[in-house]
Structure 1
Amino acid sequence: MPDRSASPTLDLQLTWRGAFGRVRVFADRVHAETSYERDALQPVPMDALRGWRIQPCDFDAVCVEFLTPDDTWRVLLDTSDEQVAALALRRVLGQPVPADS
């Protein structure tokens, strides 16, 4: 069982055009929440995760996309956080899925 009291190794968040997103990376898990394309702030169902990737959303934001069987959860991050987020997520979740075409 993961130690839920452990501090994250990376904690990124962004409020962008009224939407909030946060990705917290721990040594053994990832916690993410988003209000982007949602009615309210919601946690990403990481237990249903099938893959992840990072793609541009706009000139000033990137989307970390968490793919579940029923939905794509987009968490917005600043473009300057893209590389560090990718490294941290890859370490915990494995390789990203190919970019959406």
Structure 2
Amino acid sequence: MPDPSVSPTLDLQLTWRGTFGRVRVFDDRVAAETSYERDALTPVPMETVRGWRIEPCDFDAVCVEFVTPGETYRVLLDTTDEQVAGLALRRALGAPLPSAS
């Protein structure tokens, strides 16, 4: 179990049109949660994530997509956070998956 007192090296979040998204990058792990396309705030099951990518969602938001064997979890972030999120996730999780489009 990760130590909850450890601060993340990056903590990005966005409340956008009634949804919430957050990506937290720690030295040893990534944590994310989203309510986008969901009935409630849902933690992303990072232990089952097989890949990630960043895709446009709208003119003022991007989606960090965490792909698991069963589904894709989309976490909304501000477009201004796209580059820093991409760099941090690449360092923590490896290269992104190819674009879905």
| TM-score under structure 2 length normalisation | 0.96
TM-superposed CA distance for 1:28, in Å, is 1.1
Task: Write out per-residue CA displacement over residues 11-47 of structure 1, whole angstroms, 9 at most, x where no aligned residue.
Answer: 0000011000000000110000000000000100000
Distance in 2, Cα, partners of 1:71 & 1:17: 23
Kindly indicate whether residue 89 of structure 2 is the aligned counterpart of residue 89 of structure 1.
Answer: yes
The Cα RMSD (Å) is: 1.0
1:12 alignment counterpart:
12
- Stretches of 4+ aligned residues off by more than 3 angstroms: 1-4
TM-superposed CA distance for 1:79, in Å, is 0.1
1:40 alignment counterpart:
40
The AA in structure 2 aligned to 1:40 is A
Percent identical across equivalent pairs?
79
TM-superposed CA distance for 1:2, in Å, is 4.8
Distance in 2, Cα, partners of 1:2 & 1:20: 23
The AA in structure 2 aligned to 1:63 is C
Q: Where do residues 15-94 of structure 1 align in structure 2 (5 Å cutoff)?
A: 15-94=15-94
| TM-score under structure 1 length normalisation | 0.96
TM-superposed CA distance for 1:3, in Å, is 4.2
Distance in 2, Cα, partners of 1:4 & 1:15: 23
Structure 1, gaps ≥5 residues long:
none
What SS is found at the alignment partner of 1:66? Answer: strand
TM-superposed CA distance for 1:5, in Å, is 2.6
Distance in 2, Cα, partners of 1:3 & 1:32: 16
Number of residue equivalences = 101
